[in-house]
Amino acid sequence: MTTIKTTLHHYYFDTTQPDQAKQYHAAVERARATGFPCWTNNRDFDTFTKEAKQARDYDKMISAAVARPERTDLHGGMGCGVFSAPIDLETDHLFSDQWNSAPIAGVSESGLRLFNWVENRYANKAIKWGYWLKQTEEMRAVLRDTLKCGYCGRQEQAASGMRFCVSCIDSEYLKEDQLYLTRLMPVSNKAKRPALSAEESAERVPLFRHAQIHGSTQRGIARIAKQRADVEQDYNDSIKEAENRRTAATWILDHVPGMYGNWIYYSHTNRHSFGWRNGLAADVAAELAERLKADGFPFAWDIEHADKSKTSSDK
């Protein structure tokens, strides 16, 4: 994992307190200076839902990452203010408006998803909870110098000189009029990708049509290999199912032919059910069970009784 360093700034204020309101507005100005809009989270919902618990757990991890006290005395100012701590951001998977942090010891083994600026919205509008990331030149550079496919999301370094993604051109879902989406552009770019020029179309369309037939990319080759394996597995499963069904049917016609129309094979459980259409009387079910055992029915079986009870084989 490749990482870069920045600072996480987390704030918590009660704006009914004049001094805290002043500090809050100063914090907002610092966050706004990053150049990113504020992402608002609605925290005004049922506290007993799964989503609410996940939100509370996330908020606690943010506070823990900057060591803000869990207990907050709003009027005394305890736990209120701006709390900051260095944080490592991973650069393996980049986004234009958010980051994945590296694991944070004692906080999150998998890291945290962090937006550039976030503020929670509560029913009590005086409470201001939020955070922002200090924007460094290294952060701006990695977003500028990393290119991203607009179709599959694959990322390449700008230094590679690549103009279009070579990973998804043979995707079975990609359409010819979507080829412009495979144009590689900086992760930091938020503008729409331009349509292919006439020259680009003359190059990309033939490649696309060839790839759609032959599956030439590494991703396509892997996909085709899996599809081939799936076909082989389906074939083997179908043969096994047909053989089991044939063997069972032949045994039934040889030993208990009257049950043939009241028998079904459930391939997903690999069990054979007698009486599935019409449940059997207790004495009939008992006799059938004896025949199945004595004459060696070769598969797992169940007998459905008229009273909705069931007799099953040991296997």
At 214, is the pLDDT very low, low, confident or very high (cuts 50, 70, 90)? confident
Tokens of 30: 């610092």
Q: Which helix (H) or strand (E) holds 279?
A: none
Q: Is the pLDDT of residue 176 over 60?
A: yes
Could you tell me if 180 and 196 are in contact, meaning their C-beta atoms sit under 8 angstroms apart?
A: yes
How far apart (Å, rounded) are the C-alpha atoms in residues 120 and 43?
6
Confidence class for position 151, pLDDT limits 50, 70, 90:
very high
Of the pLDDT bands very low, low, confident and very high (cuts 50, 70, 90), residue 212 is confident
pLDDT tens, residue by residue, 22-58: 999 999 999 999 999 999 998 876 677 888 888 889 9
CA-CA distance, 235 to 238, in Å (whole number)?
5
Rounded to whole angstroms, the Cα distance separating 155 from 284 reads: 68
Confidence at residue 50, expressed as pLDDT on a 0 to 100 scale: 85
CA distance 232 to 70: 57
Q: Is the pLDDT of residue 72 over 70?
A: no
pLDDT exceeds 60 at position 74: no
Lowest mean pLDDT among 164-173, 189-198, 212-221: 212-221
d(CA 170, CA 193): 20
Separation between Cα atoms, residue 145 and residue 278, nearest integer Å: 70
Nearest to 120 by CA among 62, 59, 21, 42: 42
What are the sequence ranges of the domains in the chain? 3-135, 142-216, 240-312
Q: What percent of the chain has pLDDT over 90?
A: 81
| Phi, psi angles (nearest 5°) of residue 152 | -105, -10
pTM greater than 0.75 (yes/no): no
At 46 the pLDDT is 65
Q: CB of 4 within 8 A of CB of 139? A: yes
Average pLDDT over residues 263-284: 95
Tokens found for residue 144: 């500028």
Confidence band of 298 (pLDDT split at 50, 70, 90): very high
Helix H or strand E segment including 243: helix 218-255
pLDDT(250) > 70? yes
Contact 188, 97 (CB under 8 A): no
Q: pLDDT digits over 110-131, tens only?
A: 999 999 999 999 989 999 999 9
pLDDT attached to residue 113: 96
Give the C-alpha distances (Å, rounded to integers) separating 86 from 28, 259, 275: 19, 74, 69
Residues in Cβ contact with 291 at an 8 Å cutoff, skipping those fewer than 6 apart? 255, 256, 297
73, pLDDT greater than 60: no
DSSP E strands in 104-224: the ranges are: 113-115, 117-121, 127-133, 146-149, 155-157, 184-186
Token reading at 215: 């599956």
* Strongest mean pLDDT among 121-125, 164-168, 193-197: 193-197
Using pLDDT thresholds of 50, 70 and 90, give the confidence band for residue 71: low
